[in-house]
């Protein structure tokens, strides 16, 4: 079974500073994918960044980067130059294939609430 | 805008009733996933359809059912509703392969009174 752990229920960061949101995972599947989603107070789930288990380099998307440490089973999200609009819940999720061919549902962590202070 | 649409946005109903939530995936996406987000359970996978066929089931109650139609839109049917079914229900879609990202719709917020 797959498991995602996000140990920080809430975090504060000063505007324009960088922040790291922690995510550790557990899986026996050699092939998996790791995702981060953002959920603002309006409720929608917004895809931010993806890292495949076989990717050699850490993923980056604009101000978002994923610090992938496979041996430690961690996939931390780094947001650089925080903005007020970054205030939201952030979810780490994993997709594996050990549930059967063609079924790639996501397993989510409990999320981290990020608050950006002006 | 993810390109995934869900209707209705909000739904208020009474215990014992039945409701239908609708989802249209992004153009070209063959897979549709349903997730439930509640305060106590967090985000949980319910069911997946791929090109009209059920592909995987998660923590979906027997009172809940879903289907995907030939035009690839999907419906989630919730019956004999209980207070505990109040939640945000998301539909997500992806192209097909293992590396495909799932894009989420805006969700349907269900309130059971």
List, as one string, the DSSP characters of A35-61: EEEEE-TT---EEEEEEETT-SS--EE
* pLDDT at residue number A64: 98
* pLDDT at residue number A77: 98
Arithmetic mean of pLDDT, A33-48 = 96
The partner residue sitting opposite A97, judged by closest CB among B44, B45, B98, is B98
* pLDDT at residue number A98: 55
At CA B56, angle to CA B31 and CA B51, rounded to 5? Answer: 30
Question: Does residue B19 surpass a pLDDT of 70?
Answer: yes
* pLDDT at residue number B96: 74
* pLDDT at residue number B65: 97
Phi-psi region of B66 (alpha: psi -120 to 50; beta: other; left: phi over 0): beta
CA distance A32 to A111: 20
* pLDDT at residue number A29: 84
Question: Does residue B26 surpass a pLDDT of 80?
Answer: yes
Per-residue pLDDT tens digits for A62-101: 999 999 999 999 999 999 999 999 999 999 999 876 555 5
Using pLDDT thresholds of 50, 70 and 90, give the confidence band for residue B102.
very high
Beta strand pairing call for B108-112 and B10-13: parallel
Q: Which of A42, A52, A59, A106 to mutate to test the interface with B (most CBs of B within 10 A)?
A: A106
Is B56's CB within 8 Å of A31's CB?
A: no
Is B106's CB within 8 Å of A43's CB?
A: yes
* pLDDT at residue number B95: 86
Interface contact A83, partner B, CB < 8 A: no
Stronger pLDDT, B59 or A24, i.e. the higher one: A24
The partner residue sitting opposite A103, judged by closest CB among B44, B55, B101, is B55
* pLDDT at residue number B98: 57
Per-residue pLDDT tens digits for A17-39: 999 999 999 988 888 899 999 99
Arithmetic mean of pLDDT, B26-36 = 94
């Amino acid at each position: 079974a797959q498991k995602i752990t996000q140990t920080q229920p809430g975090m504060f960061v000063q505007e324009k500073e960088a922040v790291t949101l922690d995510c550790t995972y557990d899986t026996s599947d050699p092939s998996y994918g790791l995702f981060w989603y953002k959920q603002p107070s309006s409720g929608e789930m917004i895809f931010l960044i993806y890292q495949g288990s076989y990717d050699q380099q850490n993923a980056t998307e604009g101000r978002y980067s994923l610090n992938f440490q496979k041996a430690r089973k961690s996939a931390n999200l780094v947001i650089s130059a925080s903005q007020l609009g970054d205030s939201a819940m952030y979810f780490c999720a994993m997709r594996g294939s050990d549930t059967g061919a063609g079924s790639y549902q996501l397993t989510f962590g409990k999320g981290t609430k990020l608050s950006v202070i002006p | 805008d993810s390109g995934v649409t869900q209707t209705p946005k909000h739904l208020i109903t009474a215990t014992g009733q039945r409701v239908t939530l609708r989802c249209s995936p992004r153009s070209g996406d063959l897979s549709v996933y349903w997730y439930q987000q509640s305060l106590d359970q967090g985000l949980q996978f319910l069911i997946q359809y791929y090109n009209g066929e059920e592909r995987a089931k998660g923590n979906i109650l027997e009172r809940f059912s879903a289907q995907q139609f030939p035009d690839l839109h999907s419906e989630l049917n919730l019956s004999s509703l209980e207070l505990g079914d109040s939640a945000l229900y998301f539909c997500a879609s992806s192209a097909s392969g293992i590396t495909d990202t799932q894009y989420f719709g805006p969700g349907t917020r269900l309130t059971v009174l």
